[in-house]
Amino acid sequence: MSSYRIHGATGEWEVVIGLEVHAQVVSNAKLFSGAATEFGAEPNQQVSLVDAAMPGMLPVLNEECVRQAVRTGMALNAQINAWSRFDRKNYFYPDLPQGYQISQLYHPIVGEGVIEVLLDDKDESTAKQIGIERIHLEQDAGKMLHDQHPSYSYVDLNRSGVALMEIVSKPDMRSPEEAGAYVRKLRSILRYVGSCDGNMEQGSMRADVNVSVRKPGQPFGTRTETKNVNSVRFIMAAIEYEANRQVEVLEEGGTVVQETRLFDPDKGETRSLRSKEEAHDYRYFPDPDLLPVELSDAFLDECRETLPELPDAKRHRYEQELGLSAYNASVLTADVTTARWFEELLAATGKAGPEIGKAASNWVISDLFGALNRLGRDITDSPVSPKQGADLLGLVADGTLSGTLAKQVFEIMLETGQDPGRIVEERGLKQTSDTGAIDKVIAEIMAANEDKVAEYRGGKDKLFGFFVGQTMKAMAGKANPQVVNELLKKALG
Amino acid sequence: MSNLTDLSIAAIRDGVRDGSFTAREVAEGFIANVEKGRSLNAYVVETPEHALAAADAADQARTSDDLKPLSGVPIGMKDLFATKGVQTTAGSNMLGGFKPVYESTVSRKLWDAGAGMLGKLNMDEFAMGSSNETSAYGPVISPWRRNDGGNAPLAPGGSSGGSASAVAARLCPGATGTDTGGSIRQPAAFVGISGIKPTYGRCSRWGVVAFASSLDQAGPMARDVRDCAIMLEAMSGFDPKDSTSLDMPVPNWEAALSSDIRGKRIGIPREYRIDGIPEEIGRVWDEGIERMRDAGAEIVEVSLPHTKYALPTYYIIAPAEASSNLARYDGVRYGLRGTSDGGIDGMYQATRHDGFGSEVKRRIMIGTYVLSAGFYDAYFNQAQKVRALIARDFERVFNEVDLILTPTAPSAAFALGDKSSDPLAMYLNDVFAVPASLAGLPAMSVPAGLDGQGLPLGLQLIGRPFDEQGVLNAGLALEERSGFTHRPKAWW
């Protein structure tokens, strides 16, 4: 489907991409200890004896983290492994107090699944299935601080032991855009499920990017792995750079070395960190401090029952039940907070189906998003509540406000936070359908523009808009446009 | 009142309750013995203030009729258990001066039961050894001497060598031990006392410095079977902080103690009759068999065909787990930090070079090797499979018999230095102990007689999972019929 190609001197090259996304699990406590997981605490303030690997300390699995991983797997239509196990991955580094990371190599908790991505929001035919290889649970490491002392490095163990889900894709992506769409979709699903906040700036989500190139139709080439890339933009840039670098190497007669690389966001390039020969021997083996994880049917049922409606299902429902365009449905369902806001708004209108869906979606996407964009705010701290939005839409629907008046009222709502009903009441912004008043204004306008009346009557239909504008202006925008239209038609004959 | 230190735990407990003597008198008697016995090198830290405080609390509790199961009983604590505010080193330079801010579950339970602590007991470094010679604090010396007139210092066994020596020499009436591949049973046998390793998971491992997590198990060492039952009751119980802890109620082992084993079927595994062990071991075993028969048990010859693979299996699995468990000793957060110009890797190397003794290094290297890429399947994975077969051997045999009787160790205590330069000979000392460890079964050593040189020999009873009661009862029957009253003559 993707026709993304790198045009080299020797012809076209196809790019093959797989991603390992590390997603921090939303939970109050760490994967194997009771320490807190909040972001932004002072260094080493969220460290238990277990996290600091004091002698004789033992891990105890946090069931909430298991629940989140299972729910995530279910949301990705993945195989849930009722029996899984933790392994130790052994290596020395000061940010790893135990000298091993507890992870799941041999028996991950979630097996194969699939994510559908749309390359174009407006077009279902651009859908592509990206395979999920597995999801496993593992501990995060601490953080090194190199800028605290001229000759020593410090370590902050707040992150040490925090639960991560490693979500491994199959090598199914073929362009930076597909990879970007995959990460955005994955992030969207995780946020719907509530298993990861998806906050890439705070490091709650980061990706190891596997890239190789090949001539179309040839077997996979040798891949490189670029570690810890922490934004969608950087992931796409890293792929683009790395793919072009590999093509260059190959076309100059060289070979791609299987290695770990780092992405430098300032220079927009990747560089070698360590080669396969320098790779650690992690000596994985089953962690003898932990029992295998066995999931009961009751637990699995509970996980399934707590899954929310997911973005794909929601998008289809918005199109079918609410009559939204593919684009509107896609925009409103991409992020769970938007969808929730939209649904609260719908509920507050007391109406259902296309009767309200179209108007509400258009208002949210053009008026509300426009305003939030201007204010530099997120929908979670919108100055207008869903209830207030619903009231505004209600005033338009019952003819109290015209479109123009509604925009005025909305601006005042943004500034003051007041309810639209009160604004209309206090400022007299109510639309009028008083035919007497409107007729009077029309008569005055026709009297003042006799030439134009004659032209109109002589066949210049376009002038109708002029009379509408003049009438609305004279009515200070408060006249019901439909009534104005009717009365004008009658008067102009 | 000097004979107070000859009393058993049960007698001390009862005497304090009855008012025959005070807990303070008992504590003072043992504190004096600890001081007199320093040449045995059993204690690495003495905590008389802890023992006296517990004793005073016991005497106070008596007046308010509020005595607990171990009120008035001072004990020794193996240095593998983290004790809050009291140096805990696991016998290693690596943890020199380390004072935990936490108390292990087992020691906490003992203090909660009213026991006091006389001090921390010497041990093989990180519990790796069978002679107590690998301790950074020097070897413990057994109170026993051969009757040949020589005075070669003998090993108390290991790794709970300090516990063994202290109990045998009356430097405490009972002590905690830990057993990974025989570290309670073998030293108990070497010094003529009793010791039980319960079913894996009975005692919490929380706060016990880890050697090999899937094998490590705490247990008591004391002068008789009843005292073991009393202590084990206080030490056992489910601990939510240890995922491998058994979530089962703790039976009243002492109350149900009975030497009536009529009708019990006792298995004698033919694979435990191995070549090259002293004839006296066989003789004491045969005497034990006769005593069990005499007590009304039915003796059944059984086969545990995978026994011969137990030792190599153990010496793959235990070092593999140890190599990972000991990775945390990196000099970054606590304990020793070596100095080096070589950056972080240099610091790691210096720390681990200086902090670990040679036996610990050997096991870390073995463990690293058996887990490494290309060798994992041949060694670690294979050993895991064999371990399952060994456990299955026991399972099958326990369909036919209630208990298994074997020698505890293939020899009596050896002299210090005899085996310390030959790791394989040293490892061979665990040959009878490791199968029960690999299968996680309760197993106990009770003294059964003396060899020709006047040194104690022990017999081992192995039971079904969770059947500590069966093991203790058979141990009591053996104890009664052996009439083992020998004790080392005080030379220290």
- Which of residues A402, A427, A452 is at a domain's end? A427
Taking a C-beta distance cutoff of 8 angstroms, is the pair B331, B337 a contact? yes
Q: Do residues B159 and B132 touch, judged by C-beta distance below 8 A? A: yes
- Whether residue A144 is found in the same domain as residue A175: yes
Which tokens hold the place of B439? 């299968």
pLDDT of residue A2: 60
Confirm whether A356 is domain-assigned: yes
Q: Distance from CA of residue A126 to its chain's centroid?
A: 19
pLDDT at residue B1, as a whole number:
43
Q: pLDDT averaged over chain B?
A: 97
- CB < 8 Å to A92, chain B: 327, 330, 345, 348
Tell whether A158 and A198 lie within a shared domain. Answer: yes
d(C-alpha B220, C-alpha B225), whole Å = 10
- pLDDT band at residue A125 under the 50/70/90 scheme: confident
B81 forms beta bridges with B208
A45-73: pLDDT as tens digits: 999 999 999 999 999 999 999 999 999 99
| Per-residue pLDDT reduced to its tens digit, B247-268 | 999 999 999 999 999 999 999 9
Comparing A70 with A458, the larger pLDDT belongs to A70
Give the distance from residue A61's alpha carbon to the nearest chain B alpha carbon, in angstroms: 8
Q: In the listed set A281, A302, A323, which residue is the last one of a domain according to the structure?
A: A302
Confidence class for position B453, pLDDT limits 50, 70, 90: very high
CA distances from A169 to A111, A132, A175 (A): 11, 4, 14
- Domain match, A325 and A288 both: no
Q: What's the pLDDT at A45?
A: 95
CB contact under 8 A, A90 and B244: no
Give the mean pLDDT of B214-226: 98
Which residues in chain A (53-72) have CB-CB distances under 8 A to chain B?
Answer: 53-61
| Inter-chain touch A56–B206, beta carbons under 8 Å | yes
Predicted confidence (pLDDT) at residue B77 exceeds the cutoff of 50: yes
Q: Tokens 């298995």 sit at which residue?
A: B267
Within a domain: A1? no
With bands split at pLDDT 50, 70 and 90, how would you rate the model's confidence at A402?
Answer: confident
Contact A100 B372 (CB under 8 A): no
Of A41 and A339, the one with more pLDDT = A339
What are the tens digits of pLDDT across the range B95-104? 999 999 999 9
Q: Is A34 at the interface with chain B, CB within 8 A?
A: no
Q: What percent of chain A has pLDDT over 90?
A: 77
Structural domain boundaries enclosing A373? 309-427
Q: Which residues pair with A139 in a beta bridge?
A: A163
Treating both helix axes as pointing N-terminal to C-terminal, what angle do B279-294 and B468-482 enclose, rounded to 10 degrees? 100
The tens digit of pLDDT for each residue in B189-200 reads 999 999 999 999
The 10s digit of each residue's pLDDT in A274-333 is 877 777 899 999 999 999 999 999 999 999 999 999 999 999 999 999 999 999 999 999
Q: Is the pLDDT of residue B394 over 90?
A: yes
Q: How far apart are CA A234 and CA B396, in angstroms?
A: 60
What percentage of residues in chain B have a pLDDT greater than 70? 100
Q: Is the pLDDT of residue A1 over 80?
A: no
Average pLDDT over residues B20-38: 98
- Is residue A439 assigned to a domain? yes
Please name the amino acid found at residue A156: D
Most confident of A233-242, A392-401, A420-429: A233-242
**Contact yes or no for A60 and B240 at CB 8 A:** yes
Q: Are residues A183 and A201 in the same domain?
A: yes
Minimal Cβ distance to B244: which of A93, A100, A291: A291
Q: Which residue of A has its CA nearest to B80?
A: A56
Mean pLDDT of the B359-375 span: 97
Candidate from B13-27, B222-236, B282-296, B331-345 with smallest mean pLDDT: B331-345
Both structure tokens of B443:
């197993």
- Segment among A425-434, B223-232, B324-333, B425-434 with least mean pLDDT: A425-434
Letter string b/e over residues B361-397, b meaning 16 or more CB atoms within 10 A of that residue's CB = eebbebbbbbbbeeebeebbebbbebbeebbebbeeb
- A155 in contact with B at a CB cutoff of 8 Å? yes
A407 and A443 in a common domain: no
Q: What's the number of domains chain B is made of?
A: 1
A162 closest CA partner among A11, A32, A346, A311: A32
Residue the block writes with tokens 């247990």? B219
Tell me the residue range of the domain where B140 lies: 1-492
Active site residue B183: yes
Specify whether A177 is located in the same domain as A196: yes
**Mean pLDDT across the stretch A372-399?**
93
- Is A288 within 8 Å of chain B by CB? yes
Cβ-based contacts of A54 with chain B (< 8 Å): 100, 102, 333-334
Per residue in B165-179, pLDDT tens? 999 999 999 999 999
Are A271 and A226 part of one and the same domain? yes
What average pLDDT does range B70-82 have in this prediction? 98
pLDDT at A75 over 50: yes
Partner A contacted by B324 (CB < 8 A): yes
Instruction: Examine residue B159 and say whether the peptide bond preceding it is cis (omega within 30 degrees of 0).
Output: yes
Q: Do A283 and B368 touch (CB under 8 A)?
A: yes
Q: How many domains does chain A contain in total?
A: 3
Whether A262 maps to a domain, the answer reads: yes
- How many DSSP H helices and E strands does chain A contain? 16, 16
The Cα–Cα gap between A21 and A196 comes to 12
What is the mean pLDDT of the segment spanning A342-363?
A: 93
Contact: B104, A56; criterion CB under 8 Å:
yes
In a domain, A260, yes or no: yes
- Write down the pLDDT at residue A162: 96
Q: What is the CATH number of the domain that holds B185?
A: 3.90.1300.10
Q: Report yes or no on A98 lying in a domain.
A: yes
Q: Tokens 């045999």 belong to which residue?
A: B397
For chain A, the average pLDDT equals: 93
On chain A, the residues whose CB falls within 8 A of the CB of B330 are 92, 94, 99
Is A49 in the same domain as A168?
Answer: yes
Q: Are residues A378 and A251 in the same domain?
A: no
Among the partner-chain residues A100, A285, A290, the one whose CB lies closest to the CB of B327 is A100
Same domain, residue pair A250 and A375: no
pLDDT of A355 > 90? The answer is no
Q: Say if the Cβ atoms of A52 and B88 lie within 8 Å.
A: no
